[in-house]
A and B are shown apart, each in its own frame.
Chain A
Amino acid sequence: MAATTTQSSWHVLSRICAGILGSYLFTWGFVALGATALLAAGLGFHEATDLVSMLGFLIFLTAFCFAFIAASLTRVWLVLAGGGALLTFAGWCLSRSLA
């Protein structure tokens, strides 16, 4: 595919890592903050965790596609990995205040 030659192998590899690892981290953060936020809002334990799990895979899918569609690779890493870390931290803090 001719279009690939305009991107270096490193760029492609970075995109793939961002797509897989970045999306995973972002989803982890989504689940962390999402579940604790729903629990804080009064949802039952199983309700909160089930809902966040179901949505989580759709979030992963969206993040994964975003990693390849977005023009700027830097933005992809910032949003997915950075965002994921932030969401995870926020979720963890919230969980400490709940337990």
Chain B
Amino acid sequence: MFANFRLSLTWLHTWFGLVLGFVLMVAFFFGSMSVFDREIDRWSLPQTRIAAQPMPSFDRILAARFAQMTEPDPEQRELAAGRVTQPLPEKLKVTTWSAFTTHRDPVLSMFVGFEVPNSTLPDDQIFGDVTIDPRDGRVLSRDQLPIGSGFFYPMHFSLHISWYGVGYWIVGFAAIAMLAAIVSGVFMHRKIFREFFTFRPTRNLLRSTLDLHNLAGVVALPFHFLWALSGLIIFAGIYFPVIETMMHPLVEQHEREEATHTGLDLEPSGKPGRLSPVDAMVSAAKEKWASRGMPGEVGFLAVTHVGSSNAYVSIYRDSTDRVATAEGMHFDGATGRVIFEDPPVGPVETVNGFLEGMHLQQFRHWTLRWLIFVGGLLSCACIATGFIFYVEKRKRTHARDGHAGSRWVDALAVTTVTGMVVATLSILVVNRLLPENLPQRDLWEMSTFWLVWILTLVHAAWRSSALREARMSKAWPEQCWTIASLALSAAVLNAVTTGDHLGRTLSAGYWPVAGVDLMLLATAGIAAVAARKLQARARARVRDTVADNDTTLEQEPERA
């Protein structure tokens, strides 16, 4: 597009990095939160603060609960009603039962699949789900929001915009922009090896910001690239449903071949049948795993063709010791004998399984989990310093010429950096303040998050008027102080409302809650230090002199 390819890539990096950077901040920040989603769930749902439980007995606990799950999620039913050629019957036919747990879960998720007849989509299914206490099968109220896995995690990959899946597409495009920003960043950064360890925290904000941006970007470059790529691969079926849409006969042919090869029927037989004891199948599976030197618990259990004579039960191990998820064993529902065992996968699927497993992190490795968390925060640091660099570079020129560009970028940067943290902390605070049995408690909590985030935008927009005189917006330190007080309040409120203060959780070794409280306190500390430093800088009125602008930044094309 420009005179040489480095200039073009610089343009690409600047503009796509800037615009999609706001989305990427959300994806990477809530991605980092999602690393500890189940721990945040424990913090937000005190009644689930028990030890992690293995999958309970199917015959004694799960079967009865499944039998009671006769209705799909109302929202999904409504959406299905819009894509059928005949009105939906009152009662939909149950097709599948499944249960899912990991080594970090004290609670169990149960799903029931319902067939959608006369649908315009092939093999259309909708679902109902509950979360239960595995010790007694008691159902957790839907009003209780698991803030980690139920709010932060979906925010990370869909921005909670479910209208026609638009949120998935926005995040997906942001991921492509991330990959492009990495590639273009490498080409722009001519001294990438020489400046690998360079960080010069001088009074020159432009220089030190760029150093930090480069440092955060380069040292964790494989992480940034692999996580963006693997996220896209996980949703490849959404982004490029080429075979499913254009070549459906191929899919059907494959399904038929697979059904013949595995002995697992595609369609229910139409004849009623009874399930033989599933617990016996689970024991058989566990014995097999142990005999192969990989003993373990059940991670995922599914019953397909519920109620039919050809129902089958699929059992997957909770693969805590490796990155990819485990292969399954499939049992005949009526007799309990093994029909088929998934064979070890070939090279392509091994790589695919590795990439997806790496991203979804169901493995048991606390060091790696923390390292990935830090990696995600490094990504956020890279993006945030990108915004700050953009503003710093232009704010004097814009102030002089009366352009509003750097002002609005600064306001949006505040909103997606400090504002997002403020909103995150406020949902945790309000979680502790609301009455336990408040109806629709989950809606109250989520609404608080969105409202507070909007307020931080309003605050940022108001304070960014300082950019008109090329001064730092006070929104930065003010929101930092807000973060510090909210984080501290959240930890204190946890102690007050649940009694699980750090003294108790640390001595009992209940790390999910202790960990969140410690992170809250650390956040409060860091935010307070940052706020003081920012205010000191503003007070000192560091006059960004001409000397600062002389710093040759060879990555940038020459200005006219």
Contacts and interface: CB of A to CB of B under 8 A. Distances in A.
Q: Is there a direct interface between A and B, measured as CB atoms under 8 Å apart in the complex?
A: yes
Interface of A: 1-7, 11-12, 15, 20, 27-28, 31-32, 35-36, 39, 43-47, 49-51, 53-54, 56-58, 60-61, 64-65, 68-70, 88, 91-92, 95, 98-99
A59 to B, nearest CB: 10
A35 B560 contact: no
Contacts of B9: 65, 68-69
Given A57-B232, A61-B183, A68 B11 contact: yes
B557 A2 contact: yes
A35 B251 CA distance: 12
Contacts of B557: 1-3
Contacts of B11: 1, 3-4, 68
A65 B183 contact: yes
Q: Which 8 pairs across A and B sit closest by C-beta, in order of nearness? A: A2-B560, A99-B249, A53-B236, A45-B254, A95-B247, A50-B352, A47-B348, A31-B242
A68 B240 CA distance: 23
Contacts of B527: none
Nearest to B351: A54
11 contacts: A1-B557, A2-B557, A15-B1, A20-B173, A28-B242, A35-B247, A36-B250, A44-B346, A61-B180, A65-B180, A69-B1
A44 B352 CA distance: 14
A92 B253 CA distance: 16
Interface of B: 1-3, 5, 7-9, 11-12, 14, 173, 176, 179-180, 183-184, 229, 232-233, 236, 240, 242-243, 246-247, 249-250, 253-254, 257-258, 346, 348-349, 351-352, 355, 557-560
B180 A95 contact: no
A65 B560 contact: no
Nearest to A15: B1
A94 to B, nearest CB: 9
B184 to A, nearest CB: 7
A84 B5 CA distance: 23
Nearest to A43: B348
A5 B355 CA distance: 42
A36 B12 CA distance: 33
B233 A1 contact: no
Nearest to B258: A45
B8 A47 contact: no
A47 B346 contact: yes
Nearest to A4: B11
A69 B322 CA distance: 41
B12 A65 contact: yes
B246 A92 contact: yes
Contacts of B247: 32, 35-36, 91-92, 95, 99
A28 B1 CA distance: 24
Given A2-B560, A88-B246, A95-B246, 5 more contacts: A35-B242, A53-B352, A56-B240, A64-B176, A92-B247
Nearest to A56: B240
A61 to B, nearest CB: 5
Given A44-B346, A54-B355, A65-B9, A95 B250 contact: yes
B176 to A, nearest CB: 6
Contacts of B7: 3
Contacts of B183: 61, 65
Nearest to A54: B233
A2 B7 CA distance: 11
A68 B229 contact: no
A27 B184 contact: no
A18 to B, nearest CB: 10
B250 A39 contact: yes
Nearest to B180: A64
A60 B352 contact: no
A5 B352 CA distance: 44
Given A46-B349, A54-B233, A68-B11, A60 B243 contact: no
Nearest to B249: A99
B316 to A, nearest CB: 16
A53 B233 contact: yes
Contact of A32 (B179, B229, B246, B349): B246
Interface centre among B1, B14, B258, B559 (most CB of A within 10 A): B1
